[in-house]
Amino acid sequence: MSESNVSLKVEFSGGLELLFSNQRSHKVAVPGTVPTKYNDPSSPSKPADIAFLIHYLRDNLLKERVELFMENDTVRPGILVLVNDTDWELEGEGQYVLKEGDEIVFISTLHGG
Amino acid sequence: MPPRTCALCSTNRAMLKRPKTGQQICRECFFYVFETELFKPGDRVAIGASGGKDSTVLAYVMKTLNERYNYGLELFLLSIDEGITGYRDDSLETVKRNQQQYSMPLKILSYDELYGWTMDAIVSQVGRKNNCTFCGVFRRQALDRGASMLGVDHIVTGHNADDIAETVLMNIMRGDIARLGRCTSICTQGEDTIKRSKPFKYAYEKEIVMYAYFKKLDYFSTECIYSPDAYRGHARVFLKDLEAARPSAIIDIIHSGEAFEIREEVKATQKVQQTCKRCGYMSSNDLCKACTLLEGLERGMAQAGITDRGRKKLESEGPAPENLRTIPFYQPPSAGNAAILLEAP
C-alpha cells in the first residue's frame, strides 16, 4: 500500500447528511492505493477511486441505515454524485481516480417536500 | 476520462449528462434549456410552496422568467401548514426565507384553521397507518381554498417528471381510471376549481436537484415524520431502479399514461362531478372526501372516511349531529374578492 494519502472534501446534502452525524461537510484522507476488491489485501492494487470511497464512507463515516446510502456496491439509485461540481456520469462514475484536494458531493434526490 | 465539450454550444466543458436526452451539456446551456421549457401565461399565479426542492426551484424559476421575459405575472407563495411539529414548522421557515429572497407575498393556510385539526392531532387519533389519506385529501382542498382567498386564477405546483411517473404507476396498479386520465395533464381545470398546472411535468428530479445545487438555492430536505406514504415509496424505489437502467424510463411511463385510452363503456360508469352538499367543494358523492373524513374524526370514528365498513358503522349511528364542526362553505374563485391577510414580510 502507498504511504501517501489523498485528502478530499466530502459533502452530503438533500437529506443524506442525516445519515452522517447530521454534518454536511467532512474532511477525509484515503490511501492513494487500495486493493481492487474492497477489504481484500490479497487482490491486486489500484489507485483509490470513487467506488472505493463509497465503501470507505460507509465503513468510516456512515452512522445509520446503510440501505439508504448503498445498494449493489454503489450508491443507491436517486443519489447524485458530483466530482468538483461535475456530474460523475461525465467523469467515469465509480472508476474516477481520486486526486488530492478533490471535492466529492453526494446529494439525495429522494426527500420530498 | 478527458473533458467533453457541450453538445449544444460546442464551446464550454460539459458538466451534466441530461437524463432526458443523454446530451452532455455545460452549466450555462443547462440553465438555458431547463428554463425555456417552462410555460408562459399572464395573470395572478399562486405557487404551491412547501420549502422543498421542487417548489423552491419553481418559485425561483417563475420569478426569474417573469422578470426576464416580462410575463407580467403577479406571483404569490401559498403554503399549507399541516400542523406537523418538527417537520412542517421547520420547512415553513424555509418558505418564509424564500418570501424575503424572492420578494413575493406569502399566504399560509393551516389545517387547524380550515378543519380544526392539525396532522399531529389526527395522527394521535388515527395512528400512523392511514394518516397520509387525511393529509393528501386535506391538502388538495386547502390549496384550492388558499388560492381562492388570494383571488388568484392559477395554481402552479412543483410536481416533477419522477412524481408524475410514480403517480401513473400507482394509478395503474390501483385501477384508478379517473385519476389516471387526469394525472398526466400539465394543466387541469374543473368548472369551479382554480386552474392548476405542473410546469415541471417533464423536468427530471435530477435536473431540479442540479439546478438548485448550481444556483445555491435554499431548500429544506427532510422526510415527513409520519411514515412516508408507503405505497408511493415502493413506486418511487422501483422507478429509481428503472431510471438507473434506462434514464428515458420516466418519460416513457408518462407517455404511456398520456396514451392510455379508456373504453366508452367504462367511461360511462364513472361518477359525475358534483358539489359537496355540506361544503360546496367539488365531489363525486353527496359529501366530499374531506367532509367525510372530518365527520369521522369529529364523531370519533376515523375509519368512516377510509373503509366501507367504517362508513356503514358511521351511518348506522344515525345522521350527523346538528352542531358538527364543518368546513367553511367553498367560495368558487372570482378574481378581485381577495381581502386576506398575508404573512408579514
Dig out the grid coordinates for A3 from the structure: 504511504
Alpha helices, DSSP H, located in A1-113: 50-60
Reported ipTM: the value is 0.91
B109 plus B225 within the same structural domain: yes
Q: What per-residue confidence (pLDDT) applies to B334?
A: 57
Return the CATH fold of A5-108.
Answer: Ubiquitin-like (UB roll) (3.10.20)
- Asked whether residue B1 carries a pLDDT value surpassing 80, the answer given is no
Q: What per-residue confidence (pLDDT) applies to A110?
A: 73
Find out whether A69 and A16 touch, Cβ atoms under 8 Å: yes
Domain ranges of chain A: 5-108
Rounded to a whole number of angstroms, the distance between the first and last alpha carbons of chain B is 49
How distant is the alpha carbon of residue B67 from its chain centre? 25
Q: For the purposes of burial, counting CB atoms within 10 Å of the CB of B310, is it exposed (0-12), middle (13-18) or buried (19 or more)? A: middle
B220 plus B91 within the same structural domain: yes
Gap between the Cα atoms of A3 and A24, Å rounded: 28
Q: For the purposes of burial, counting CB atoms within 10 Å of the CB of B30, is it exposed (0-12), middle (13-18) or buried (19 or more)? A: buried
DSSP β-ladder status, B74-81 and B106-110: parallel
Contact residues, chain A, for B209 at CB < 8 Å: 14, 80, 107, 109
Q: Which residue of A has its CA nearest to B232?
A: A112
Would you call B244 and A77 a contact, using CB atoms and an 8 Å cutoff? yes
B72 assigned to a ligand binding site:
no
For cell 470511497, the residue is: A53
Would you call B15 and A90 a contact, using CB atoms and an 8 Å cutoff? yes
Give the end of a domain, one of B226, B249, B270. Answer: B270
DSSP β-ladder status, A5-13 and A103-108: parallel
B318 plus B181 within the same structural domain: no
Rounded to a whole number of angstroms, the distance between the first and last alpha carbons of chain A is 45
B127 in a structural domain: yes
Q: Which residue of A has its CA nearest to B236?
A: A110
For cell 393529509, the residue is: B135
- Those residues with Cβ within 8 angstroms of residue A72's Cβ, 6 or more apart along the chain or in another chain: none
Residue B192 phi, psi dihedral angles, 5° rounding: -125, 35
B49 assigned to a ligand binding site:
yes
Would you call A109 and B206 a contact, using CB atoms and an 8 Å cutoff? yes
B8 plus B133 within the same structural domain: no
Find out whether B276 and B288 touch, Cβ atoms under 8 Å: yes
B189 plus B148 within the same structural domain: yes
pLDDT in tens, A32-63: 999 999 989 899 999 999 999 999 999 999 99
Substitution target from A74, A87, A104 for chain B, most B beta carbons within 10 A = A87
Contact residues, chain B, for A89 at CB < 8 Å: 17
Gap between the Cα atoms of A27 and A14, Å rounded: 19
For cell 447524485, the residue is: A80
Average pLDDT over residues B274-284: 88
Find out whether B138 and B130 touch, Cβ atoms under 8 Å: no
B31 plus B57 within the same structural domain: no
Which residue in the set B17, B208, B214 is minimally distant from A90, CB to CB? B17
Gap between the Cα atoms of A45 and A33, Å rounded: 6
Dig out the grid coordinates for B323 from the structure: 352542531
B138 plus B64 within the same structural domain: yes
Gap between the Cα atoms of B198 and B186, Å rounded: 5
Find out whether B281 and B272 touch, Cβ atoms under 8 Å: no
pLDDT in tens, B51-104: 999 999 999 999 999 999 888 899 999 999 999 998 888 899 999 999 999 999
Gap between the Cα atoms of B113 and B71, Å rounded: 34
Find out whether A10 and A26 touch, Cβ atoms under 8 Å: yes
Q: Which residue of B has its CA nearest to A88?
A: B16
B155 plus B48 within the same structural domain: yes
pLDDT in tens, B97-144: 999 999 999 999 999 999 999 999 999 998 888 888 899 899 989 999
Report the gap between the CA of A67 and the closest CA in chain B (Å).
Answer: 12
B9 plus B98 within the same structural domain: no
Report the gap between the CA of B271 and the closest CA in chain A (Å).
Answer: 32
B343 in a structural domain: no
Contact residues, chain B, for A90 at CB < 8 Å: 1, 4, 14-17, 24
Task: Collapse the DSSP code of B120 into the 3-class scheme (helix H, G, I; strand E, B; otherwise coil) and give the result.
Answer: helix
Which residue in the set B158, B209, B237 is minimally distant from A107, CB to CB? B209
The tens-digit pLDDT sequence of chain A (113 residues) is 446 899 999 999 998 998 999 999 999 999 999 999 998 989 999 999 999 999 999 999 999 889 889 998 999 988 999 999 999 999 999 999 999 999 999 999 876 54
For cell 467532512, the residue is: A26
- Asked whether residue B231 carries a pLDDT value surpassing 70, the answer given is yes
Q: Which residue of A has its CA nearest to B24?
A: A90
Which residue in the set B4, B17, B209 is minimally distant from A14, CB to CB? B209
Number of domains in chain B: 3
Contact residues, chain B, for A92 at CB < 8 Å: 1
Gap between the Cα atoms of B306 and B310, Å rounded: 7
Task: Quote the longest CA-to-CA distance of chain A.
Answer: 47
Alpha helices, DSSP H, located in chain B: 27-36, 53-68, 88-102, 111-115, 119-126, 131-150, 161-174, 177-183, 205-214, 230-245, 249-259, 264-268, 289-298, 308-316
B31 plus B43 within the same structural domain: no
Q: Which residue of A has its CA nearest to B244?
A: A77
B48 assigned to a ligand binding site:
yes
Over chain A, what is the mean pLDDT? 92
B289 plus B265 within the same structural domain: no
For cell 461540481, the residue is: A85
Would you call B221 and A13 a contact, using CB atoms and an 8 Å cutoff? yes
Domain range for residue B249? 39-270
